[in-house]
Amino acid sequence: MEALLVSISTVAFAEMGDRTQLLSLCLAAHYRRPWPILAGVLLATLANHALAGVIGVWFGAFLTAPVLDATVGVSMIAMALWTLRPERLEDRGAVRGRGAFLATLIAFFIAEIGDKTQLATVALAAGYSSLAAVVAGTTAGMVAANVPVVFMGKAFADWLPMRAIQLGAAGLFALLGALFIARAASM
């Protein structure tokens, strides 16, 4: 249960102001079809984070418990620092000529490659024994962060205190990192 809750909260907060959330905003403004967009976000995230989770489990199998906890802790602190950097969405022209679902599925999967939430999924899967809980949690966190953006669009994005949310997400990553490092030091 801890792996699920930590994964949901970590990704939901980290996603605020992220480029994939900006992508959701652009797709919602372009297509104005929230359900196919959310279905694309769900499936793309599930596929991307399942792959990231498998990599995390594989990586975690090669490390001793203290080294694994220290590695996850350091990676979470790196995520905290990365979260403080504002994200921008580059116009790659990937959505023209495709339906809302397919455009979202492809664009979202590609945008998540190397993203902080994907790397957080690798770290969480390496640190927790339940791959299913981590992938379900990170996917749920991603969808939860994107639902309001897809349904409420730009008006909602303008209303949010993005800097405060980024600081909160950075604080959550730093706290998780410190907890993993403390756990490593106590072994």
- Taking the C-alpha atoms of residue 124 and residue 6, their distance in angstroms, rounded to an integer, is 9
Distance CA(76)–CA(81), nearest Å, equals: 9
Mean pLDDT calculated for residue range 89-110: 71
Confidence label for 49 from pLDDT (cuts 50, 70 and 90): very high
| CA–CA separation, 120 and 1 (whole Å) | 18
pLDDT in tens, 2-13: 999 999 999 998
Between the two ends of the chain, the Cα-to-Cα distance in Å is: 23
CA distances for 164 relative to 11, 40, 167, angstroms: 16, 28, 5
Residue 92 reports pLDDT greater than 50: no
pTM over cut 0.75: no
Structure tokens at 116: 């902080």
Examine the pLDDT at 109 and tell me if it is beyond 80: yes
Note the pLDDT tens digit of each residue in 153-183. 655 556 667 677 678 767 877 888 898 899 8
- Give the model confidence (pLDDT) of 67-81 as tens digits: 878 887 887 788 678
- Quickly state the pLDDT bin for 88 (edges 50, 70, 90): low
Inter-residue contact 87 to 22 (CB < 8 Å): yes
**CA distance readout (Å), 37 to 15, 64, 108, 160:** 16, 41, 10, 21
Separation between Cα atoms, residue 176 and residue 179, nearest integer Å: 5
pLDDT of 167: 80
